[in-house]
Chain A
Amino acid sequence: MLKQIVRRLGTAVPSLIGVVIVTFLLTRVLPGDTAAYFAGPAATPQAIAEIKTKLGLDQPLFVQFLAYVKDLATGNLGMSLTTGQPVFEDIRARLPASAELTLLGLILSVAVSVPLGILAAVRQGSWIDHLCRVVATAGVSLPVFFTGLLLVYVFYYKLGWAPAPMGRLDFIYSAPDTVTGFYLIDSLLAGDFELFRAAWSQIWLPAVTLAIFSLAPIARMTRASMLSVLASDFVRTARASGLKPSKVVMGYAFRNALLPVITTLGMVFSFLLGANVLVEKVFAWPGIGSYAIEALITSDYAPVQGFVLAMAILYVLLNLAIDILYGLVDPRVRIEA
């Protein structure tokens, strides 16, 4: 098993190299003449040349690339002009907020879409099957920022069930001591249930928004893969042997149908990480997405590059985790390797 994980780690290396090359190219393109940009509009040609030497922009591209890789290896992503902090520190401080929201959204989404997909497949053609189809088509058509605003209108303005969309905690509370960086977990660890309630009341609406967005692909894939497994010989044999329907569906069919669903998770994460940026803007969530948006508006490019790189590395790692999970769920993959 360990050998296999190491081999899978190896497959992530080309992706990581590609990511680093692309982000390097984005730095070179951006924004026009980098030296002139840093020197400001009133700079003399001499000052621009000086900054070019200082930034190493007069070096051959390959040398610049090596310098870039060296910076990355030491965690140097440049300084943010807006916050005055190193970008690496900013991203590290804000990453837990984004991760907590994304993971909660994914958990909610899986909790609804997998049972929905299974029921739709077991009772093919029933109302729940049609519901599944409507959810799947509507889910991919809804702009996530629009769903978020609709939910805010209904649950904050009309019903008053949710607080104003203003970040992770109401200002009367102070953040729990950092253990994991996830307020929900940290507040429980501190034994502060009121704080947990406060954090939960802020997070549930954005998490539901993300969940609605990612329901569609998971439900659709669960249904399709359950349908093909339910039609297979071993399920027919299990049924013919007189096993209980629940045992056949959950014990035999579901385990086999799980594999394509896990593969879909890779795509779902790609959507979720992108949608996360939009949801963070709608709910003023202090994660790395809103950090990047603030930086974009003020033309502060170092944080944007740091953000793209951080997201890409995160995504490569998530795909790696999915691959390893796949190996755990499917013993055949382990034997072949």
Chain B
Amino acid sequence: MRGKAMSLAATDAAPKDSLFSHARHIVAENPVTGIAFGLFALFALAALIGPYVVPHDPLASNTSAALQPPSATYWFGTDQLGRDIFSRVVVASRLDMIIAVASVALVFVAGGFAGIASGYFGGWTDRIVGRVSDTIMAFPLFVLAMGIVAALGNTVTNIIIATAIINFPLYVRVARAEANIRREAGFVQAARLSGNSEMRILLGHIAPNILPIMMVQVSLTMGYAILNAAGLSFIGLGVRPPTPEWGIMVAEGASFIISGEWWIAFFPGVTLMLAVFCFNLLGDGLRDLVDPQRRT
């Protein structure tokens, strides 16, 4: 135990440039991670400047051009109200990213802190946090999210909160395990001997050390957060029409699938899939970078 803690402390302090060369090595070995980075940049760009560069107004309906298949004017076709699907898909990326980033940030702070505290202090803190996590895990997660949004009210904020809550146990588990193996590490004991308060050790010494592992968790759960939010809006929770959002756009196109107008649901669905795919690949790549032993 002591030996493991010591060696961990040593790897935690690895020099930066070796990390970069390691990163280059991983991208070279696995070009898919590079593609994922490219896709991620594209989504980030769409979220940042999308609303200013799209060719059509995402909310403007034009009934004379309704239900048109993809063409040079309408790259992804138009929906039943004649709105341009390409513009809607691009503009929607901002809302979808905001939901995903906000919910992941929320659970990163709350779940991360609860997990570190329960791993570091043990005892009652650990028992209470563990009990809360277990209770959340006793539900099928998407069903719990539905229940939470139904109870708190049908808004985007509550979708963010519900998504954060169902991810809570995952963050607690990782943070707890990582904090637990470091609680008696040399640098922690040194910090304690120098008279640091427990809270200061927790936030100033342990938290920075487990940050890399937590970042992996962030990118692994980001894809799930997007899927979850889109699933909730697909069944009519949170986002309301005519707001462009991928899940609700797929829902709007669903009734046209059986009459052959595939493009209304297809393009938002594919974009959603690519976003999730991109975050999952990024998460795998980051994990290889931070924690090579857990590669499968």
A residues with a Cβ closer than 8 A to B are 14-16, 18-19, 21-23, 26-27, 29-32, 137-138, 140-146, 149-150, 152-153, 156-157, 164-165, 220, 223-224, 269-275, 277-278, 281-282, 292-293, 296-297, 301, 304-305, 307-308, 311-312, 315-316
Contact = CB atoms under 8 A, between A and B. Distances in A.
B171 interface: no
A62 to B, nearest CB: 19
Nearest to A278: B231
Contact of B146 (A271, A292, A316): A292
A224 B250 contact: no
Given A18-B138, A305-B147, A149 B254 contact: yes
A82 to B, nearest CB: 14
Given A137-B280, A141-B280, A146 B142 contact: no
A308 B143 contact: yes
A142 B139 contact: no
Shortest 7 CB-CB contacts between residues of A and residues of B: A274-B142, A18-B135, A146-B269, A273-B140, A308-B147, A30-B151, A141-B277
A48 B4 CA distance: 63
A220 B296 contact: yes
A149 B265 contact: yes
Contacts of B236: 293, 296-297
A142 B135 CA distance: 28
Nearest to A144: B231
B138 A143 contact: no
A275 B143 contact: no
Between B227, B247, B257, the greatest number of chain A beta carbons within 10 A of the residue's beta carbon is seen for: B257
Interface in B116-162: 131, 134-135, 137-144, 146-148, 150-153
B212 to A, nearest CB: 22
Contacts of A141: 223, 273, 276-277, 280
Contacts of A308: 139, 143-144, 146-147
Interface string B259-296: 11010011001101100110011001000000000001
Contact of B269 (A27, A143, A224, A273): A143
A138 B258 contact: no
A31 B147 CA distance: 12
Contacts of B277: 137-138, 141
A149 B255 CA distance: 9
B140 A315 contact: yes
Contact of A140 (B146, B253, B280): B280
B231 A145 contact: yes
B276 to A, nearest CB: 4
Contact of B258 (A27, A142, A165): A165
A145 B234 contact: yes
B235 interface: yes
13 contacts: A15-B138, A31-B150, A31-B153, A32-B153, A140-B276, A141-B276, A153-B266, A273-B142, A273-B143, A274-B140, A277-B146, A308-B143, A315-B139
B237 interface: yes
Contacts of B259: 157
B97 interface: no
Given A30-B152, A273-B143, 16 more contacts: A19-B138, A22-B135, A141-B223, A143-B250, A145-B254, A146-B272, A271-B141, A274-B142, A274-B231, A278-B234, A281-B235, A296-B235, A311-B139, A311-B140, A312-B139, A315-B138
